[in-house]
Structure formats: C-alpha cells, structure tokens
Chains A and B, each alone.
Chain A
C-alpha cells in the first residue's frame, strides 16, 4: 500500500536580507529524510551555503566536485558541509537541493547529498557528514561570506517519510 509522502514542513521567502535561515522545531520522532531546496540571490557580491544542524558548528566534513564551465575540480573540507562551491550572485540565482538521510536516527551520523547550480558559474555536487548521532531538530543554511541572502530568496524544507 503506497504511503503519501514528501510533505512541505516549512517555507520562507525572505522579505529582508539575511545571513542565515534556520528551520527549527523539527520533530525527531519522524523517520526518513529531510530535503532542503534553495533559490537564492545575493544582496551584493556572492554568497555561499553551509548546512548546519541543531545549532552546532562542529563536527562537519564534506567533499565537493564542480565544474565552472572551463574546468572541473574537487576539494574536501574537514570543518563544513558546503552545498555549493560558489553561491548566488546579485542577478544570478543559485539553486540547491540537499538531502539529509535518516535525519532522526540516533545510531547514524547524518549524511548529506546535495546538488547545486548557478547557470553562469557552476554545476556542483556535495557529499557531507555531520559526525553526530543526535536526531536533527533544526537545520540552518549559513552564509560564511560578508554578504547576505537577498530579498526574494526562497528556502523550503520537506520531509520524506521512510516508514
């Protein structure tokens, strides 16, 4: 028997620029995956997107591969999960889809798979790991540049049930 799923948990369209967006009060009793989608411009320069959980700043690690139109590259980070190698610009949006698997499991680190694109700059893919067995109760999309996500940027959070 099929089970309806892919529920929208929260959605926001920025009415003021922001350096981060946090989805809080995520139920730890649900089982399955979380999916974050982003369509974001920068208020100046460019931004980026690091995903964090439960208000923590450690321990995160990731690997990214990307193309900038003329070459391809890969790098690893032992301090963050970058959902894209670069982020949105003032007139060129960046779009991201990121999955957090088994977000409420207390016997697994949290694995993240993400795809990010900015049409004039890059196509990228990310694998990340938050080395914690805590259930995810909040998700923050954090910009580590001095710029902000611009007004009109859209952030959505979905849950995909697995049971």
Chain B
C-alpha cells in the first residue's frame, strides 16, 4: 500500500521561529570563495548553520574539497578530521596546526555535465563564545563520477567570537550559480 499526502500548507505565523534565515549569497560570476562577514551582529543566535550548493568553475582536475577559514585567520590555527566514503571503501584522516579546515570533495569540476552540483551543511556551534575554541562540523558530498560523502569536523584554536566565515575550494573558483545560505539558531 502506498501512502499519498497532499501538503498542509506552510505554517506561517504562530510561535516565534528558532531557526532563521540571515543571509544568502548566490554567485552571479565565478568567485574564489563565499564569505559571510559581520557575524558579530548575529551574536543573539546560539549557533549558525550554512547550507551550500556549489560547483567548480574550472574543468580540469577532480572534484574540489570544501575548505573553511574563520575570522580571516590564515595562521596555522586549525585542526580537522573527517570520515569519508567514495563508493568502494571508507577512510579517515586528520590534521593539526593547519592554515585551514579541510573537508572532502563537495563540488564537481566544470567539465562535468551542466547542472551537476555538490553540497554541504555546515554547523558552527556556539559561534559567539569568547571562552571556547570554535568547533565546526559538516556533512558534505558530491555524486559526479568522483563520488564522495564525508562527515567532517574542524577546530579553530582561538577563543575569539566568530565574525566571519570563508567557504572555498582547495583549488580554483566556485562557479556561477553556487549558493550559500546562512541561518541562525536561537538558544536560551
């Protein structure tokens, strides 16, 4: 037996939302990164989430890894690790004292058929804390002939409140049409 359900309609009004859209960037031209700055103005949200769908602007090489930097810091102040599968086997890796948080392939190269994109959902926990090093976690994946699914976490060894987050690829630019949305999750 199949169960079919027509929609009830979106729930407007009523209780206040605890999950809110803050900003969206959709690239109208290629770009080396998508950066959300001025995050200090969102300090009333306990956590931040970024949902990104992207594609590489270049046709050479393989699928691109998702990299993340916080507060524009290019020093060796990051640690990361991930668990990943690529359709045949699984493996894990980690790094410390790195200049960025490294994820696994999330974006197909431009040589793939038009329309192919990869995606990631990134959580920044307690982003405005000034007493904790900042932790990031993300689920990312791409299905493009170079398949990858990965669960990653990153550490920014700095107790500063997060004021900006930069999302970029390990190689090259993000393509036109790549989109990232920033959401805030309220706490107590």
Contact = CB atoms under 8 A, between A and B. Distances in A.
Nearest to B10: A7
A93 to B, nearest CB: 17
Contacts, number: 184
Nearest to A63: B147
B7 A63 contact: no
Contact of A101 (B16, B119, B151): B119
User: Majority SS of interface residues in chain B?
Assistant: strand
B116 A127 contact: no
A118 B103 CA distance: 26
Contact of A127 (B9, B22, B141): B141
Contacts of B121: 99, 113
B181 A65 contact: no
Contacts of A2: 20-22, 184
The size bracket of the interface on A is: 35 or more
A129 B116 contact: yes
A48 interface: no
Contact of B149 (A99, A126, A131): A126
A160 B121 CA distance: 13
Interface stretch (B32-40, B81-89, B125-133, B165-173): B81-89
Interface in A1-46: 2-12, 14, 16-26, 32-33
Interface residues of B, number: 54
Given A6-B19, A63-B86, A74-B90, A127 B24 contact: no
Nearest to B6: A25
A133 B115 contact: yes
A60 to B, nearest CB: 9
Contact of A32 (B113, B116, B148, B181): B181
A26 B10 CA distance: 10
Contacts of A160: 19, 21, 51, 181, 183
B143 interface: yes
Given A64-B85, A125-B150, 8 more contacts: A9-B9, A61-B143, A102-B117, A113-B119, A113-B140, A113-B141, A155-B5, A160-B51
14 contacts: A3-B22, A4-B17, A5-B183, A8-B10, A9-B9, A21-B3, A21-B5, A65-B85, A74-B89, A76-B143, A76-B147, A99-B51, A101-B53, A125-B151
Closest 5 CB pairs of A and B: A127-B141, A65-B85, A74-B85, A76-B87, A4-B17
